Amino acid sequence: MNVDIRKAADTPCEVHEVLQQPSRIERQSAELNAQTSAPAHNPEDRGSFEQQLYDLTLNHQEPVLPRSDLVSSLASSATGTSSPASNQAAPEAVFYPATSFVSARAQLAATLTGATLEALRNEIDLAEQQSAHWSPATAPPVDRDRVFEDVAGSSYVTLRRFQNQNSDCRPRKEENTSAISHVRNTARDHSSVGYPLERYPLDRARQAGWHMRGQTTTSAFVSLVEDPGKLAVSRDTWARAIATHADTLHTYTVPKAAVWTPDDVLSSIGLGMNAEDPDHVDGDVDLMCSLGRTPTRETERLFLGGNLESYRTASEANPYKRGSSE
pLDDT tens digits, 164-207:
999 999 999 999 999 999 999 887 776 655 545 566 778 888 88
Task: Compare 71 and 163 and report the one with higher pLDDT.
Answer: 163
Angle at 305 between CA 304 and CA 309, to 5 degrees: 120
Cβ contacts of 76-81, under 8 Å, gap ≥ 24 = none
Task: Compare 282 and 13 and report the one with higher pLDDT.
Answer: 282
Range of the domain at 102: 98-154
Question: In b/e form, how buried is each residue of 27-57, taking b as 16+ CB within 10 angstroms?
Answer: eeeeeeeeeeeeeeeeeeeeeeebeeebeeb
Residue 250 domain flag:
yes
- Both 310 and 178 in one domain: the answer is yes
- Both 193 and 136 in one domain: the answer is no
* Residue after which a domain boundary falls, among 115, 131, 154: 154
Residue 42 domain flag:
no
- Both 295 and 169 in one domain: the answer is yes
Task: Compare 162 and 70 and report the one with higher pLDDT.
Answer: 162
- Both 227 and 210 in one domain: the answer is yes
Res 101 pLDDT > 60:
yes
Domain count, the chain: 2
- Both 145 and 177 in one domain: the answer is no
> What is residue 19's predicted lDDT score, i.e. its pLDDT?
43
- Both 107 and 191 in one domain: the answer is no
Res 126 pLDDT > 70:
yes
- Both 102 and 142 in one domain: the answer is yes
Res 143 pLDDT > 70:
yes
- Both 167 and 115 in one domain: the answer is no
Res 145 pLDDT > 90:
yes
- Mean pLDDT confidence for 148-156: 97
* Residue after which a domain boundary falls, among 138, 154, 170: 154
Count the Cβ atoms, other than its own, within 10 Å of residue 137.
5
pTM over the 0.75 mark:
no
- Mean pLDDT confidence for 118-145: 93
Task: List pLDDT tens digits, range 222-233.
Answer: 999 999 999 888
pLDDT band at 11 (very low <50, low <70, confident <90, very high): very low
**Strand order through the sheet with 312-317:** 259-260, 300-304, 221-225, 156-163, 248-255, 312-317
- Both 167 and 148 in one domain: the answer is no
> What is residue 203's predicted lDDT score, i.e. its pLDDT?
83
- Both 103 and 193 in one domain: the answer is no
- Both 135 and 161 in one domain: the answer is no
Please list the residues that pair with 221 across neighbouring strands. 304
Q: Distance between CA atoms of 106 and 127, rounded to whole angstroms? A: 8
Residue 127 domain flag:
yes
> What is residue 214's predicted lDDT score, i.e. its pLDDT?
82
Q: Which H helix or E strand runs over 272? A: helix 262-272
Lowest mean pLDDT among 10-14, 26-30, 249-253: 10-14
> What is residue 312's predicted lDDT score, i.e. its pLDDT?
97
Residue 230 domain flag:
yes
Alpha carbon distance, N-terminus to C-terminus of the chain = 111
Residue 222 domain flag:
yes
β-pairing, 300-304 vs 312-317, is unpaired
Q: What are phi and psi of 264, to 5 degrees?
A: -70, -35
Question: In b/e form, how buried is each residue of 161-184, taking b as 16+ CB within 10 angstroms?
Answer: bbbeeeeebebeebeebbbbbbbe
- Mean pLDDT confidence for 308-317: 97
Contact 116, 151 (CB under 8 A): no
- Both 121 and 188 in one domain: the answer is no
Res 33 pLDDT > 60:
no
* Residue after which a domain boundary falls, among 154, 173, 190: 154
Res 245 pLDDT > 80:
yes
Res 70 pLDDT > 50:
no
- Mean pLDDT confidence for 293-320: 88
Residue 322 domain flag:
no
Closest by CA to 62, choosing from 126, 134, 147, 139, is 134
> What is residue 176's predicted lDDT score, i.e. its pLDDT?
93
Residue 117 domain flag:
yes
Percentage of the chain lying above the pLDDT 90 cut = 39
Task: Compare 294 and 152 and report the one with higher pLDDT.
Answer: 152
Task: Compare 177 and 290 and report the one with higher pLDDT.
Answer: 177
SS3 279: helix
pLDDT band at 106 (very low <50, low <70, confident <90, very high): very high
Residue 161 domain flag:
yes
pLDDT band at 105 (very low <50, low <70, confident <90, very high): very high
